[in-house]
């Protein structure tokens, strides 16, 4: 049965890191796979099944493929399930870190000499640990739960390393005046170097349980150690779609239908987001917006680029702001009003966002993924409308080239080679710049070879659109190996071409 008015009741406790619940958006609450999911209406059976399947996969860090009929509300179910899981994951993570910090604080209170040996560096650690191991075991005293300070989860990830000061233990008179022997300092060091301290406590427990640490505490520390980096990692959700229109639909559903609010970002191309007049004129005349953008920035002639941080700090995009969840059109409009670049602002904000929307190629294409600074390790990746993945993956592993592009490349390389002359033993162009003669010859040869092969009578092409004919390789009678053989593209030749291109670029 759904809980009544769950959003208003859970508003304070539900705010995990940047994610919070908007009480003005009506929603029911369902427990699915141990996770509380806020859904805008009574879900269809297919939506319940999808959310259950997805949450089980996320809990197990597994891949999953979900298929459901058109019109069954797949996208909304995927959004709510993934955001609910992240909310639950972050709450458990904060609780674990709070418990670990509390155990470390108790260890610091009762084991001053071991801390000095570990972090102060002027007492032999082996001697201190030998003394600890040979000391007689003390009967463990059960802690009164009413007297023990409860572990409190933090409201913000940035505060995970904060700690509450504990009572100072007795310190030998000869060391209490040394700054690096101060109990508060040592506790701070132990908490800052949390993973190292956990390893230290576990190693000590192999010979004798340290004072102030119980078997239950040791189990908590071992669980933290087993999780490794994931214990301190906040997973980001990458939501990939085929087109930007689908991204807009997802954002609209997230804003209007769900109570989830969090830091979001949308990745798009320069052609979609550039507001510079010269770049837009270049696009209108068929020139590359990317090339014009690079030229303007290299010449320090792009005012919006220099001011793009105005967008990042804008109050409308802040937590609980009017555009906390924004689309590219919102960002472009804000960029025009502030004469700030939406493209670089969106890329910067994607680095701190908890949910990132992007087209498939930002996830599937390694070159695009690297350029956008996307790291998929230990993060959640959702590919909506996945029946389009085959074509997207093929595009990511392929390239398109026209005979006119090859002709221009060969002509430009030949012109540069022909224009060079020698001055004081150095090859120079007429403009005075250094010319890489051998590298340009390699690229010219490659362009001419490929162009000549494309124009062979034995190759067949199909009409695609105005003044364009196309062909796709490999073909049944022409495998890739045969194509490479006819082009003399051996691994050594390919390596030379890549080297030449990288040096010229």
How would residue 10 be classed by pLDDT, with cut points 50, 70 and 90? Answer: very low
pLDDT for 114-125, tens place per residue? Answer: 888 887 764 444
What is the SS3 assignment for 117-171? HHHHCCCCHHHHHHHHHHCCCCCCCCCCCCCCCCCCCCCCHHHCCCCCCCCCCCC
What is the pLDDT, as a whole number, of residue 38? 95
> Is the pLDDT assigned to residue 158 strictly greater than 60?
no
Please tell me the predicted confidence (pLDDT) of residue 78.
93
Contact 90, 234 (CB under 8 A): yes
Residue 379 in this model has a pLDDT that exceeds 80? yes
Is the Cβ–Cβ distance between 162 and 154 less than 8 Å? yes
pLDDT of amino acid 481: 81
Question: By the 8 A CB rule, do 23 and 36 touch?
Answer: no
pLDDT value at position 174? 47
Q: What is the dihedral of CA 93, 94, 97, 102, to 10 degrees?
A: -140
Query: What pLDDT, on the 0 to 100 scale, is given for residue 88?
Result: 94
| pLDDT for 87 beyond 90 | yes
Is the whole-model pTM more than 0.75?
Answer: no
pLDDT exceeds 50 at position 163: no
| Alpha-carbon dihedral sign for residues 89, 95, 99, 105 | positive
When pLDDT is cut at 50, 70 and 90, the band that residue 156 belongs to is very low
Work out the percent of the chain whose per-residue pLDDT is above 90. Answer: 41
Please report which confidence band the pLDDT of residue 432 belongs to, taking 50, 70 and 90 as the band edges: low
> Higher pLDDT residue, 484 or 435?
484
Among the ranges given (152-161, 192-201, 218-227), the one the predictor scored with the smallest mean pLDDT: 152-161
Q: What is the predicted pLDDT for the residue at 502?
A: 86
What pLDDT score was predicted for residue 3?
43
278: left (phi over 0), alpha (psi -120 to 50) or beta: alpha
Specify the 3-state DSSP secondary structure of 500: helix
pLDDT band at 420 (very low <50, low <70, confident <90, very high): low
Segment 406-433 shows an average pLDDT of 68
Written as six digits, the tokens of 153 are 């989860």
Calculate mean pLDDT across residues 6-27. 61
CA nearest neighbour of 385 among 251, 247, 237, 258: 247
Region 3-26: what's the mean pLDDT? Answer: 57
> Which structure tokens are listed for 418?
């022909």
The pairing of beta strand 35-39 with beta strand 355-359 = unpaired
155: pLDDT strictly greater than 50: no
Q: What is the mean pLDDT of residues 346-356?
A: 94
Which of 206-220, 452-466, 475-489 is most confident? 206-220
Terminal CA-CA length for the chain: 62
Kindly give the pairing relationship between strand 237-241 and strand 355-359: parallel
Assess whether pLDDT exceeds 50 at residue 375: yes
Give 481's DSSP letter.
H
Judged on CB neighbours under 10 Å (0-12, 13-18, 19+), 101 is buried
Are 324 and 244 within 8 A, CB to CB?
no
pLDDT recorded at residue 6:
39
Judged against a pLDDT cut of 80, whether residue 24 lies above it is answered with yes
Residue 273 has pLDDT above 60, yes or no: yes
Residue 440's pLDDT band, with cuts at 50, 70 and 90, is confident
Q: Where are the alpha helices (DSSP H) in 206-324?
A: 215-227, 244-257, 270-273, 277-284, 289-298, 303-306, 309-312
Q: How far apart are CA 324 and CA 38, in angstroms?
A: 19
Average pLDDT taken over every residue of the chain: 81
What's residue 198's pLDDT? Answer: 94
For residues 458 and 440, what is the distance between their CA atoms, to the nearest angstrom?
29
Residue 141 predicted with pLDDT over 50:
no
Q: Which has more pLDDT, 130 or 441? A: 441
Decide the pairing of beta strands 260-261 and 20-21: antiparallel
What does the pLDDT average to over 30-39? 94
Q: Which of 176-185, 215-224, 282-291, 309-318 has the lowest mean pLDDT?
A: 176-185
pLDDT reading at 26 higher than 90: no
Quick one: which of 154, 180, 179 has its CA closest to 18? 154
* pLDDT (mean) for 57-71: 89
Three-class DSSP category at 408? helix
């Amino acid at each position: 049965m759904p809980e009544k008015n769950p959003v208003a009741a859970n508003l304070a406790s539900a705010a995990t890191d940047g994610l919070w619940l908007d009480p003005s958006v009506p929603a029911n609450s369902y427990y699915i796979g141990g996770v509380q999911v806020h859904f805008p209406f009574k879900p269809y059976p297919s939506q319940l099944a999808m959310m259950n399947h997805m949450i089980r996969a996320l809990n197990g860090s597994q891949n999953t493929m979900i298929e459901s009929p058109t019109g069954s509300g797949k996208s909304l179910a995927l959004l709510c399930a993934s955001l609910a899981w992240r909310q639950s994951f972050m709450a458990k993570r904060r609780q674990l870190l709070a418990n670990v910090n509390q155990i470390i604080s108790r260890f610091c209170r009762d084991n001053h000499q071991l801390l000095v040996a570990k972090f102060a560096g002027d007492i032999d650690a082996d001697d201190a640990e030998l003394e600890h191991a040979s000391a007689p075991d003390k009967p463990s005293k059960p802690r009164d739960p009413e007297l023990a300070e409860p572990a409190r989860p933090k409201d913000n990830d940035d505060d995970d390393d904060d700690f509450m000061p504990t009572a100072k233990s007795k310190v030998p008179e000869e060391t209490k005046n040394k700054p690096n022997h101060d109990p508060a300092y040592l506790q701070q060091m132990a908490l800052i170097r949390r993973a190292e301290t956990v390893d230290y406590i576990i190693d000590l427990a192999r010979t004798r349980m340290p004072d102030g640490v119980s078997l239950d505490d040791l189990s908590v520390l071992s669980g933290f150690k087993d999780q490794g980096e994931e214990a301190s990692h906040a997973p980001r959700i990458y939501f990939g779609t085929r087109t930007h229109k689908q991204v807009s639909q997802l954002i609209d559903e997230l804003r209007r239908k769900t109570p989830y609010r969090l830091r979001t970002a949308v990745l798009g191309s320069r052609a979609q987001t550039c507001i510079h007049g010269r770049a837009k004129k270049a696009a209108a005349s068929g020139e590359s917006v990317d090339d014009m953008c690079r030229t303007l920035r290299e010449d320090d002639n792009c005012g919006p680029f220099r001011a793009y941080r105005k967008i990042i700090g804008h109050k409308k995009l802040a937590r609980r702001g009017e555009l906390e969840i924004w689309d590219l059109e919102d960002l472009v409009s804000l960029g025009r009003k502030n004469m700030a670049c939406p493209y670089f602002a969106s890329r910067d904000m994607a680095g701190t966002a908890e949910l990132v929307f992007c087209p498939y190629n930002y996830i599937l294409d390694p070159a695009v993924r690297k350029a956008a600074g996307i790291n998929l390790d230990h993060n959640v990746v959702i590919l909506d409308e996945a029946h389009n993945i085959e074509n997207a993956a093929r595009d990511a592993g392929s390239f398109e080239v026209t005979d006119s592009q090859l002709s221009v490349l060969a002509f430009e390389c030949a012109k540069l080679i022909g224009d060079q002359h020698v001055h004081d033993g150095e090859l120079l162009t007429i403009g005075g710049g250094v010319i890489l003669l051998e590298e340009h010859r390699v690229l010219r040869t490659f362009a001419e070879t490929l162009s000549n092969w494309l124009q062979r009578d034995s190759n067949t092409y199909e009409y695609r659109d105005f003044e364009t004919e196309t062909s796709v390789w490999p073909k049944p009678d022409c495998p890739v190996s045969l194509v490479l053989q006819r082009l003399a593209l051996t691994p050594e030749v390919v390596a030379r071409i890549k080297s030449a291109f990288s040096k010229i670029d």
